[in-house]
Structure 1
């Protein structure tokens, strides 16, 4: 045991002081990146008013750029500025992107009037911010990890392994904390009566700025290697030379591999051989973008799905739709030790899933399963979406507000409809009838209990594809009802609940100028409220959008210009997706009640946990194993090139999502999820066949230590000129 403890300590002994600055910088950068990404989808949807497909396309275009620009960052660092100066310069660009996003979150949210031109600049400012962020995030991505590796000496392989393990841990801790915190900042803090996106973007800005300052403070502890030429550029030139020579070859000339046509008087034979090894691995990358197409939608389509679910998690509180993403990094932190310490050793004993390619195939298959679960959940969500009346028909709701009365509505003359009213209607309940032919109709209302005089010859004029509400009440033992109220029958576009107010008159105490003022105050967010002024009798206000939560409704009413504060106050719970009507009624004593015009989101957000668990298990098997596979199958001098190729598979996976979302070929979201599941299953089958025939590279040992570029300068002198 003492020996093991010593070995464990040895792994940390000799780690350079500079690593502390680099690790903390990476943690703060990942907090900043995932914090911005967590609320990005809802910002595009709610604040910039894009639809679901455009929101998804912009989100994944940003992700595509983020994973494509690492190539540019590597070229900048290796060929011109060096890693240290590139990291600082790109971090400043990163911070500027955050500044633009924070500004876009403030535009149109200030309490003072905003000129139209500035208000219209909201979306362009946000898009400029996204562009700067993608350059800053992606450009620095290949620089920081390799810069950290540069800090170690030869013979510190154990310490280097510890660094990369802690580096990956920093990424996931930063991601988990930011995806947990920034949605709370967005939702629970109000900026001028709206969700505070400016704060949700501002905190990552501050964290990234502090991280950059901290990185600079560690300057004198760093080892800085000068720019030595970019290997990726050299590889590209060598491949272009081989293609050119192959196209210009004589018909009788034939070689084993197309890279063998590369001019060895210009390019080192060792370079050509290493490129051939890399290309052998890259062929295996061809099916992989589809995996990233599915995986990356956690921040877009899955968030939009959560947006239309019930966030009430019981003892866990309310889970925001952009907060559920934090499950992925949390599960990663939990699952990696479990896989390394228990599952992989067990699989080894059972002699299954032993090779990297077998594990990657399993991870791909699990992502397909995750999307089947996602599609099933989407079908359930869509089953709860109300359907508007068909063309040429209308809908009618009847609300019973007559005490002691079981209300029976009847069309006169009777209408032969397959769907009947729920009859009789209990007190303070409602019923609905669909597909009523449009036009003028007459109805009778009667009570099956109590000495109440019936309401007869009540006239309703119904228009096509509209829904109407009739509120029947008891006025001095006489059923009465004002004219029908046009009622919203669709869920809110942005999922937040909507409310309206109806002030129901009482003929027993009718005055010509009775009005009410009603304040609806959120108890969850102190400054979120709405006031209906001067609501006249039997009038209905427009629907207003509210944040979900508990609301207190207070009523003031005045007669003949004299304001009289009534002791009327009641609380109501408004959930995402719900549409509510609050009714003020009574004469000597006002009362309040609430009815749902559209039921709130019914499926709980915790139903997403299985799909997150399955896709995260798949990530452990696919992503981490894939990095190990690509790293081990590449010559030491080509590992950076292989990393760039791996990042490109992620970039093109996001590009596929952009194309699918913007083409809008699939209108049904559940069908789209099932389509991705089938596509992933097909790609998994292809990858299994490719894996069966794949022959693992035998990597020759490096004869020299030192810089990768130096190895390719050892042969033809012309190679050195190409790399300058």
Structure 2
């Protein structure tokens, strides 16, 4: 072990402050880069959504698999310090490479700013991401374990608090970067062509990674540095293999039973190694139920965000975005769970729900550490690490019960859409006379420019004839068919003039957006441009397709040869909320100028996103007591030469948790979303009980004391070999 003079600050080794700053900068770098990654794939490289999503999740998965490699390098070859420095250099190079790959003048571009020839960009991006995955994953288990190494025996309280501060640095870095990096992306830059500034947005995280590396190296003289003890993982695997093989070889009852199954390796391996492997396997056994916690926790960015899209984000003057609204180079593209700052200028302040967890972490970690835990200790309760983790699991389970309750409230407000053998009909009168429409068992009379209050549902097989009539005019039978399983609008403007329009919306607009379509009552076709989206050639007495917009007030222009230049051509919509759909009818006034009438097709979301705060609060409290404690527990129960390996095992539970989500979500298609939430809550509750039972039988150990005892025994044996009379010394004196 190499170590320089131990410098203390507020009772903590000064070296840990360099480690915490290093972690903050590294997490800023990682999350800042990740915040714009999928947008870079789609808007710049030009991949479609499916390929972009696949590459993105492959990259994230690699970031959680490479910790095993980093732990092996640290514990078997380079040691933690050199591993962190070496892989951080690779990490920084990766960030620089992906920043260079985003320079739009690297290859020839089309007029729209997308690359004409993309192999250079793709190659550099893949190389950059591979280096980043190796770097971030490789150092992940080493940095936290290296921080724990800096504390002396008897500094358990300070070390526990270090892991809280360490976790705080992770969340503070991710929170700040996911706000700043998207702001950098929307800047305009370029040499030969102007585009969104990806080089700057990737370049700042690259610079922060370089700062992270420099800060870590500056503290070098203050660190405790333990030397690696050979290829420990190979020894562990061989020892376990030999113990199992030896146990089955001696299955006969003539051999006496041994206290532990690993004791069957004593014929070949020394007791110290066997004892160390026992420590690791006992902790690894406790890890088995842990992925279920991460399976629930990681759904904040998926299921919970989707839940938010069916809710209203308007809270006073604040508007919370369920997902961020990203503006690409030429089109408005929406992606979920990538950053926490939208480009929608109508939103102030622009927030998104993904930040809620990080903000709560930054608030809750100090409260738990400085107030709650000391209070529990004063009450005489022994709130051990494993008990904390059990409580964390329980809180996460309750968070999903809260999510299910919110979902039930949302379901009450959702519109009912037709089944496969049904049709839903709404009647819209855009004429100047009162119109009477005769439907099966129902008669509706509508004045000029009005519609039925809601869609009427009919069994398609029993849908009899529909007639339209008006005072002084003959009855007209509707002969056009209504599409089964869909909503349709019966557009009428005179007794013998009608059109059946299939709406094309069979569910709430996704991502909290608003569907807008236009109906033209002019004789000529018209073109409409709304917030950069074009409705082209909307023919007379016909409807356009729906296009989708985020919340806010939208301007639109109407162009038609029929409209006089003296008429206004620019119009402003009312405030669009969340998840609604409207038909805008463009009508001709007496002076020949257009006027716009709005009709609601799907009501906006009414359940407020503020109702999600309890579930976010519960799962954040669960994360604080589960994740921070788990990091500290993994460190405290590991032998000195296997701390990084155990930290990597802890991180591997996160990867397995994500796989569980894919399996459960893929295997069971639930008719109701609340049922899936309850299933996950029940699964974690069962796992929580199993973990509590396992924890009940776990005996806490002090690896340092056990290893010190082995050192003492080895020293005695060494002395005995050099002086064979030592053992009989006291006896001789007695005999004398």
TM-score tier (shorter): 0.7 to 0.9
Aligned partner of 1:172 in structure 2 is 171
Say if 2:457 is the partner of 1:434: yes
Do structure 1's residue 409 and structure 2's residue 425 form an aligned pair?
A: no
The one of 671, 682, 689 aligned to 1:685: 689
How many Å apart are 1:504 and its aligned residue?
A: 0.9
- The question of 1:517 aligning with 2:533 is answered no
Q: Is the 8 A contact 1:396 1:470 kept in 2?
A: yes
Given that residues 59 and 300 in structure 1 are in contact (C-alpha distance below 8 angstroms), is that contact kept between their aligned partners in structure 2? no
Counterpart-to-counterpart distance in 2, 1:232 and 1:640: 11
Deviations 1:283-328 (A, max 9, x none): 2222222112111222222233334433333322333424312211
Q: SS where residue 484 of structure 1 aligns?
A: strand
Q: Give the secondary-structure state (helix, strand or coil) at the position aligned to 2:478.
A: strand
Structure 1: gaps of 5 or more residues: 1-7, 447-451, 522-528, 717-724
Deviations 1:594-621 (A, max 9, x none): 2233334443322221111011111222
Task: Decide whether the 8 Å contact of 2:27 with 2:170 is kept in 1.
Answer: yes
2:505 match = 489
- The equivalent position to 1:330 in structure 2, one of 342, 356, 359, is 359
Q: Write the distance in 1 (CA, Å) between the matches of 2:557 and 2:133.
A: 48
The CA deviation at 1:114 is 6.3
- Is the alpha carbon distance of 1:50 and 1:333 closer, same or farther for their aligned partners in structure 2, counting shifts above 3 Å? same
SS at match of 1:463: coil
8 Å contact kept, 2:294–2:653: yes
CA–CA separation in structure 2 for the residues paired with 1:133 and 1:662: 30
The CA deviation string for residues 614-648 of structure 1, in whole angstroms up to 9 with x for no partner, is 11111222222333333333344443343233223
Residue 102 (structure 2) pairs with residue 86 (structure 1): no
Judge conservation of contact 1:11–1:158 (CA < 8 Å) in 2.
Answer: no
Equivalent in 364, 381, 387 of residue 358 of structure 1: 387
Q: Distance in 2 between matches of 1:595 and 1:108?
A: 47
| Alignment deviations for residues 550-573 of structure 1 (CA, whole Å, 9 cap, x no partner) | 20122233249x866535522233
**Could you tell me which of 495, 502, 516 is aligned with 1:499?**
516
Question: Alignment length, in residue pairs?
Answer: 665
Contact 2:103–2:198 at 8 Å: present in 1 too? no
TM-score normalised to the size of structure 2? 0.76
1:533–1:619 distance in 2 versus 1, CA, 3 Å? closer
Counterpart of 1:3 in structure 2 is: none
Q: C-alpha distance in 2, partners of 1:87/1:666?
A: 44
Whole-angstrom CA distance in 2 between matches of 1:376 and 1:335: 24
Kindly report which structure 2 residues correspond to 1:650-669, keeping only aligned pairs within 5 A, or say none. Answer: 650-663=654-667, 666=670, 668-669=672-673
Over 3 Å counting, the alpha-carbon distance change for 1:557 and 1:175 in structure 2 is same
1:370/1:612 contact within 8 Å kept? yes
1:525 match = none
Q: Report the counterpart of residue 543 of structure 2 in structure 1.
A: 540
> Matched residues in 2 for 1:282 and 1:489: separation?
50
Cα RMSD between the aligned structures?
4.7
**Relative to structure 1, is the Cα distance of residues 493 and 221 closer, same or farther in structure 2, using a 3 angstrom cutoff?**
closer
Instruction: Say which SS state the counterpart of residue 599 (structure 2) adopts.
Output: strand
Post-superposition offset of 1:710: 14
Matched, 1:612 2:606: no
The CA deviation string for residues 473-519 of structure 1, in whole angstroms up to 9 with x for no partner, is: 5xxxx7785423221232345653332222113xxxx6xxx343322
**Structure-2 change in CA distance of 1:152 and 1:139 (3 Å):** same
- Could you say if the C-alpha distance between residues 485 and 713 of structure 1 is closer, same or farther in structure 2, counting changes exceeding 3 Å? farther
Match of 2:406 in 1: 377
* 1:531 counterpart (534, 541, 550): 534
1:591 deviates by: 0.2
Q: Pick the aligned partner of 2:24 from 22, 27, 33.
A: 27
Alpha-carbon distance change, 713 to 666 in structure 1, aligned in 2, over 3 angstroms: farther
Is the CA contact (8 Å cut-off) linking 1:581 and 1:595 kept in structure 2? Answer: yes
1:598 and 2:602 aligned: yes
Alpha-carbon shift at residue 585 of structure 1 (Å): 0.5
- Which residue in 1 is equivalent to 2:311? 309
Report what 2:725 is aligned to: none
2:258 counterpart of 1:255: yes
In the alignment, structure 2 segments of 5+ residues that lack a partner are 1-6, 324-336, 338-351, 719-736
Deviation at 1:680, TM superposition (A): 0.8
Residue-by-residue CA offset, 1:630-673 (whole Å, 9 max, x unaligned):
33333444433432332232232222223224445546433222
Alpha-carbon distance in structure 2 between the residues aligned to 1:467 and 1:250: 72
Q: Which residue of 1 aligns with 2:480?
A: 461
Report the Cα distance in structure 2 between the residues aligned to 1:112 and 1:394, rounded to whole angstroms.
43
- 8 Å Cα contact 1:102/1:197 also seen in 2: no
1:274, 1:635 within 8 Å by CA — same for their partners in 2?
yes
Q: Identify the residue that residue 238 of structure 1 maps to in structure 2.
A: 239
